[in-house]
Amino acid sequence: MNQPSDKLMSLKDAIERFVADRAHISIGGFTINRNPMAAVYEIIRQKKRNLHLYAHSNGQAVDELVGGGCVSRLEIAYAGSGRFAPTCIRFRKAVEQGRLQVEDYSNYQMTLRFMAGAMGVPFLPCRSGLATDIANTWGFPASLRQSDPKLPDHKLVVTENPFGTWCDTTKVVLVPAIVPDVTILHVQEADSHGLVRIEGLTFADIEQAKAARRLIVTCEKLVETGRLKQRPDANQLPPFCVDAVVHVPWGAYPTACYRHYDYDPVFLNRYKQEAAGDESYRQYLEDWIFSHKDHKAMMDSIDKDRLASITADGRTGYASGLERR
């Protein structure tokens, strides 16, 4: 949390400053929508290592961070990119090869965990997962939980309802709060002080943002404070939540950014093939990420017609009629 002064910085600076090796980070978006991809690519480019990653349902960002070798522990509900990768490809390989420690929760549980962090309470209750392996089987060894002060001692706690059978409920699952060192979001609009506007579904971005010790916001458009304050009902995060504002057009590419651009089916289909083999993936990392110095250079390397084809139309907010096979 910072003062409401000017927080504009480059993405390189923001990642250098707020994302350390071994940091606990959380990323916004959902499967193929509004993933903070520019930030993800910069993290890979800066070769951050042993990150502890939190997400609910995330696809492209999780897979690239895992594939880029940045992540050693992952707490997640769902790793997939819709029809393009029902299970994230590099994630799957890493788990099957024992290179990634995973703790599984459900989507609502992860959402509640971020919400607990945002609310400043150690846990929130739900009825999800009773009698399942999500409740009964722990991914992280108990020894890890006990030795790491950044992890709660329990994956979750199943307990009796202290109010008897109030609300026809006998048992509840208490899920522990997440307090990430840093959360990274990509949003449609922000101003230099950190006032944030997200359009369309907010997923769990707001909860993830408020739960974190630090918040990096990359934005599609950098706008005047005055303009956002004319319609405060449409804004979600006040400046005092935000530490860094980075202006990154196409910052969610190849995932979608509602009202700006669609996901890129050409990229995602090709990624699926390239991620399938270790050698082709190494080549992908080199060609797409390491050989470009920043997101602008990455985007400049893409055919303009392709970007035009995924540009959102004003009526629907996505690219109507886009060929998506």
78 is an interface residue for other proteins by CB under 8 A: yes
Decide whether 224 or 287 has the Cβ nearer to other proteins. 224
Residues 6+ apart with CB under 8 A from 34: 28, 185, 186, 187, 198, 203, 205, 252, 255, 256, 257, 258
* Pairwise CA distance, residues 209 & 183, whole Å: 6
47 is an interface residue for other proteins by CB under 8 A: no
177 close to 121: Cβ distance less than 8 angstroms: yes
* Pairwise CA distance, residues 44 & 198, whole Å: 25
10 is an interface residue for other proteins by CB under 8 A: no
Could you tell me the smallest distance in angstroms from the CB atom of residue 313 to other proteins? Answer: 10
Name which of other proteins, a second copy, none residue 237 binds, using a CB cut-off of 5 to 8 Å depending on partner kind.
other proteins
133 is an interface residue for other proteins by CB under 8 A: yes
Could you tell me the smallest distance in angstroms from the CB atom of residue 292 to other proteins? Answer: 26
Could you tell me the smallest distance in angstroms from the CB atom of residue 318 to other proteins? Answer: 4
Decide whether 116 or 212 has the Cβ nearer to a second copy. 116
Amino acid present at 116? A
Burial of 308 (0-12, 13-18, 19+ CB in 10 A): exposed
* Pairwise CA distance, residues 27 & 178, whole Å: 13
180 is an interface residue for other proteins by CB under 8 A: no
Could you tell me the smallest distance in angstroms from the CB atom of residue 44 to other proteins? Answer: 22
Name which of a second copy, other proteins, none residue 18 binds, using a CB cut-off of 5 to 8 Å depending on partner kind.
none
Contact positions with other proteins (CB under 8 A) in 276-305 = none
The contact set with a second copy (CB under 8 A) reads 116-117, 119-127, 152-154, 157, 159, 161-164, 166-167, 169, 172, 174, 176-177, 179, 199-200, 233-234
Could you tell me the smallest distance in angstroms from the CB atom of residue 214 to a second copy? Answer: 17
Could you tell me the smallest distance in angstroms from the CB atom of residue 320 to other proteins? Answer: 7
311 is an interface residue for other proteins by CB under 8 A: no
Name which of a second copy, other proteins, none residue 249 binds, using a CB cut-off of 5 to 8 Å depending on partner kind.
none
Which long-range contacts link 294-303 to residues 24+ away (Cβ below 8 Å)?
Answer: 294/11, 294/12, 294/42, 295/11, 295/38, 295/41, 295/42, 295/248, 295/250, 295/251, 296/249, 298/41, 299/249, 299/250, 299/253
